[in-house]
Each structure stands twice: as structure tokens, then as C-alpha cells.
Chain A
Amino acid sequence: MTAALELIGVTHRFDDTVVLDNVSFQVEAGSITAVLGPSGVGKTTLLRIICGFETPQQGRVVINGREVARDGNSLVAAEHRGVGLVPQEGALFPHLSVANNVSFGLKQRRSGESRARTNHLLELVGLAHCADRRPEELSGGMQQRVALARALAPNPAIVLLDEPFASLDAALRASVRAEVVDALRRSKATALWVTHDQQEALSCADNVAVMLDRRVVQRGTPVDLYRSPASQAVAEFVGEAVHLRGQARGTTVSCAMGNLQLARAADGSVTVIVRPEQIELDDSPTETSPRGRVIASRFYGHDGEIDVRLPNDEVVVARLHARLLPPIGTDVALRVNGQALAFA
């Protein structure tokens, strides 16, 4: 595997404000990598640097083995970098038809070859029947798919997607997301996907780089990030977390939920983190089983959550099958599945 994109020690400031601090990661050719971070963490700036609209004061940007920016110098202009861009809200050219949007970046746009390429890409995103429509006649989700086809048309080294579905409503988002991922996979494109949505990053990407506080704090597969986050901040950002005080000794920790196994050894006073789906009702409790009283219950349809107050007043959240949700006020016995995380 070769890297389609490498960032090495990229640091960028606007005036005196550091926006990106020593950011390094790479994107393997043919993979989808997500940059996951809360709003305002510098993700869009990162994309603008890769595109060539901003030049980082320090660090290097390498695309397909070619250095395009280094320490405050842009070595390759934006139009020669071979980077496709799908901006927020698509940004289709309103004065051009759908087909002309897609063929915008092709050489010899009127040639048969270009037409075939345009048709192929519109089929890839499932919009071949919309070729002659105007952008404003399409729904938001369709516009995003056209924007993807347009970005893929000139066969870029990498496609950058900037919060591509942030403006779509929740019901539409999941289906458009699936279509976009499918189109990316089938075209074997390399993609870098910027999002603040944990679910989106974990479900769509092969690799995720978590950005917190202007730096990349952890890189890994979605499973690695979720199961072994490098810090408490990452653990809390990539999923829901239940916090407990605990005393760790090696690979066990004792806390209000009993003695738990730790994924990574720790010692002394720690914050114990377990995921709500790890906590379940214990049907055959023993004397040592942790107990508590249900103080809140939330029904989501497919599943639900309860808040349980433990004897020491700590509150844990358990995610349960919807038909298992006990009513508020019930005393329940609990158990924890799998390993817990502990952070000093």
C-alpha cells in the first residue's frame, strides 16, 4: 500500500492563532479516511491546505509521492494538485446543467470520451436520468451526489469531502451517506472525509484520525478507536461514556460496578469508563452484583436507555433492548460485559 496523501508536521496559524498544531497522518491509496473532530477544530483549514488554498507555515504536504507544499511555500498550484473537493452543501455551479457540472474538470469537454465519462459517473451515483436537469431542481442529497461525481470525474489522486452531509436531515443523511460510500468504493477512489459526526466516521471510514484541540490525537481503525482510545478525551468523543471513580491495580479495577477487567493496565486512582451497551440487567444476580434504582428511562424504538443510581450516588447509563426497559423506580441488578477503560 502506498500513501495517496501524507501530511508531515503541518502547523498553520491565522495571525497569532494556531489553527493546526503539528498535524501528521497519511491516507492509503484506495482507502477512506475520516478526520473526526468537533466543530472549529481546524478541519476545514486542513482541507484547504491539502487543496492548495492555504499554505501551511510549517510542515509538508505530499500527494501521490509529489511534494506540493513545504514550510510556507506552495510548490504546486491548487489546479495542478489533482485533489477533488466536495464542499459543504455541494456547491454545484448554478449556471450549468448537471452533466456540465460533472464534465467541468474534464479536458475536451465536448469529446465522446468526456461524454462517456460523464455518463459513467452519473450512473455511478445513480443520477443518469438527471443529466439535463438544473442543480436547483435537485434535492440536497442529489446535489451532494452530483458534487461527488464532479469531483471524481478528472480521476483525482484523492477526493476531499468537507462535512458533506451536515446540511441534510437525519433521515436522508443515512441513505445518501450509504450511496456516497458505495460510489467511492466502486470507483476505488481514495477519500479523506471530514466530519464531526462519530457515527458517520466510525461507519464509513477504514481509518479515522481524531482531531481535538488543533492536533491529531489518535489514528486507527474505527474498532481500535472505540475499544482502545488513547485518552479519556478520545474515549468520550468517539462514543457515549459512563464515568465511575475507581482504584486500579494492574489489569483489574474496583469501582461501584464491582471488580472489572481493564483493557490496559493502570494503577492508583482512576476514572473508569465503560460504554452504555456494556451494562446489562443481571437476571441471576449474586450477593456481590452491583444494584441500583432506575431514575430515568428513554425509549428510542429499536432500543432504549435507563439511568441507574448506584448506592454511592454515582449514576450509570445502560443501553437495553427496548422490550427490556424497566419502569422508573425499579430496583435492578447489573453486570458489565467485556473490559473497561481506566484513565488517570
Chain B
Amino acid sequence: MALLLIVLERHFRSRVTQRLGAGTARSTVRRTTLTLVAPALVVALTSIGFGIGVPLVSSIRWTREASATTDWSAVFTTIMSSFWIGFLTGLATLLLALPVGILIARFKGRLADVTEGAVFVTHSLPGIVVALSVVYLGINLVRPLYQQVPLLVFGQVIIFLPLVVGAVRTSIEQSRLALEDVSRSLGVSRMATVFRVTIPLAIPGIAAGGALAVLGAMKELPTTLILRPTEVETLATSIWKYSVVSDFGAVGPYAVSLMLLAALPTALLSHVAVVKVAR
């Protein structure tokens, strides 16, 4: 099924769209009118209401009801480990996604196709399957790393790599090849061109990709549950741990923390989106 979708997607994307036409790139002027904005606003506010308002309000209520019994230092430790694992995953995913994204966007050929296919096949697998494969790998090949942070991050990287590669690839494909040609004609090697032209131009996509990975890793559950070091709890595992025993009072602080923490990369993502539209 996933393979079929990949083949179809590749078929349609082979007609690459580029910026065509003469003239200078200008900033888009954004105009808004009330008649257009009003219905859009209603839809947006409704989805925000259900998506954020309801969980936020109930989480805050749970937190207040159970505030006397809450172990705030445990909540703080959990926030820090969630943040740390998210940060490591984001960083590691970006470091891998950059070369892969550049390869796919700029060096068309069998190697690029196979790499892209490999990356996206894992995306179609349920997280639990990836986690179990990593467990197998950990037990059989890298025993000392089993249930250690590096292996957990490794599992997360596999899961989020496709998202980040997609973001990186898209932003690299959008920049004009002529810019890289000019760079080389100015005496700058292919490798140095990647660092001086390709990557700086793709920064919005790279930032968005990194934010996606951080966000994903912080709220990811099955892989984290299986691969985390036994003593480490993340916000997601804590929420799961307390909600399976219906201890909603204890869930509250973790849920609120996760929503606040997730707001950071989300803010970055939407900032990037706005900048991209304005360009």
C-alpha cells in the first residue's frame, strides 16, 4: 500500500514545478476583506476551540483540583527530559535529513530515488513496528545501548526523518539552480556552495523540519514507552501512565506542560510559514 503511494507520488512529482516567468521577485502584498475573513475566522476559532480550548481548560481544571497532591519537582524533571529528548531528536534528525534532502532535491538518479524510497517506507510503518525493530537491534547488536537515550533518539529519528526530509527537500527545490551555478562560476566548490548558498536559502524549510521533529518527539508515545530508559519519564509517557488508571488529577500538570512546551516549536513553525508567504 505504502509502496503504491510512493510510486504514484513520484510519478506526479516528476513534473517539477519551478518559478517561471520573467521579472523580479517581489514581496506579495496580502489583502484581506471582511467577507472573506469572517467565515475563515469562524472555522479557525471553532477548530482552535475544540483542539486547544477543551483540552487546555479541562487540564487546567484537573491541575487545580489536584494541586495539593502534585509533585512539582517530578513534573519539572519530566519537562526537562521531554525537552531534552525532543531537542536531541530534532538535532539528530536534521543532521541526517540535510544531506538526504540535498541528495534527493539536487542529484536526481537511482541512488537518490532509493534513498528517498527507503526514508518514506519507514514513515508508512506504525511507530510500534519501528520501535520493536529497534528493540531487536538493541538486544542483538548494541546491547549496552538498549533502553538508553541514544537508542531512543535513534528510533525517533527513523520515525520523523521522512517529515523533516520532506520539509528540507521542498525548500531546496524552491531555490533556483542558477544560484548554485553562479556560485561555482565564482570559484566556490560544490561542497562550499552547499554551505554558502543551498543551506542558507533553505533555512525556513530546515527550521520548519527541525520544529516538526522536536514537536513529534515530545508527544510521541509508543516508541518512547518501549525504548526509554526505565527511570526516564517524558510528558507523553506520564500522561499515558496516569490516564490508563484514570487518575486525571495527576494527568493535569503534565498535559498543561506538554501543551505549553509544544507551543514553542509550533510558534516557530507558524512564524516560518508567515515569512515564506510574505516572500
Contacts and interface: CB of A to CB of B under 8 A. Distances in A.
B201 A95 contact: yes
B186 A105 contact: yes
A75 to B, nearest CB: 16
Contacts of A98: none
A83 B185 contact: yes
Interface residues of A, number: 34
B25 A87 contact: no
Interface stretch (B77-85, B174-182, B206-214): B174-182
A207 B111 CA distance: 45
Interface stretch (B87-95, B187-195, B237-245, B260-268): B187-195
Contact of A139 (B24, B179, B184, B187): B24
Interface of B: 22-27, 176, 178-179, 181-190, 196-197, 200-201, 203
Contact of A93 (B181, B189, B197): B197
Contact of B176 (A91, A95, A153): A91
A154 B201 contact: no
Contacts of B26: 136
Given A91-B176, A94-B201, A78 B185 contact: yes
Interface string A79-122: 11111110111010111000000001100000000000000000
Contacts of A82: 187
Contact of A154 (B27, B187, B190): B187
Interface string A261-283: 00000000000000000000000
B24 A136 contact: yes
Contacts of B203: 95
A79 B187 contact: yes
B257 to A, nearest CB: 36
A151 B200 CA distance: 21
A95 B197 CA distance: 8
B226 to A, nearest CB: 42
Contacts of B196: 104
Contacts of A84: 185-186
24 contacts: A48-B181, A51-B181, A53-B181, A53-B184, A78-B181, A79-B184, A79-B187, A79-B188, A80-B187, A84-B186, A85-B181, A85-B182, A87-B178, A89-B178, A91-B178, A93-B183, A95-B200, A104-B183, A104-B186, A105-B188, A136-B24, A136-B25, A140-B24, A166-B22
B85 to A, nearest CB: 32
A89 B22 CA distance: 7
Contacts of B184: 51-53, 78-79
Nearest to A136: B25
Given A167-B22, A167-B23, A150 B186 contact: yes
